[in-house]
Amino acid sequence: MAFEDLLRLLHVLGATVLFGTGIGIAFFMVMAERTRDPRIIAHVAGIVVIADTVFTATATFLQPLTGYILARMIGWPFEEGWLVLSFALYVLTGLFWLPVVWIQFRLRDLAKRSVAEDTPLPADFDRLYRIWFACGFPAFASVIAIFWLMLTKPDITLS
């Protein structure tokens, strides 16, 4: 396998991990929250925090690295419209993902506290959960748009 092929594979695997882990985390967090059971939420949120740390953070670092090296090897100019837009959407995704990570830690901790104190989930939990949920839509839309840009490489002129 040529080095370029290996990089393409790593880039595709990284994108798969980012999207797959993200959608999986979202699904399990939503399903856990629907129970309103602090024990279930604390457990699931604990796993989510680990998954985001192990998988998403690693792929988040490797994606731009493999993308940069691939673009250099192939000879794509970095001012190419679809590449610029891909980079901008990647940054936008990160701007939504970073608060989500912090919120997931807080949701986990609030649920753990409810378990320890044998109390219902506090109002802060619901407020943070709504923010967490809302952040997912632009982040996932951006990732899907990046997939489309990478697959189609449209001729986009930036002024």
Give me the DSSP letters along 90-157: HHHHHHHHHHHHHHHHHHHHHHHHHHHHT-PPPHHHHHHHHHHHHHHHHHHHHHHHHHHHHHH-----
Give 41-52 pLDDT, tens digit per residue.
999 999 999 999
For 12-37, b where at least 16 C-beta lie within 10 A, e where not — what string?
Answer: eebbebbbebbeebbeebeebbeeeb
In the block, tokens 């690693």 appear at 58
pTM of the model: 0.91
Q: Where are the domains of the chain?
A: 3-152
CB atoms within 10 A of CB 121: 20
Mean pLDDT per 10-residue section of the chain, whose length is 159 residues: 91 95 96 98 97 92 93 92 95 94 97 98 98 96 96 91
Reading the block at residue 91, the tokens are 């940054």
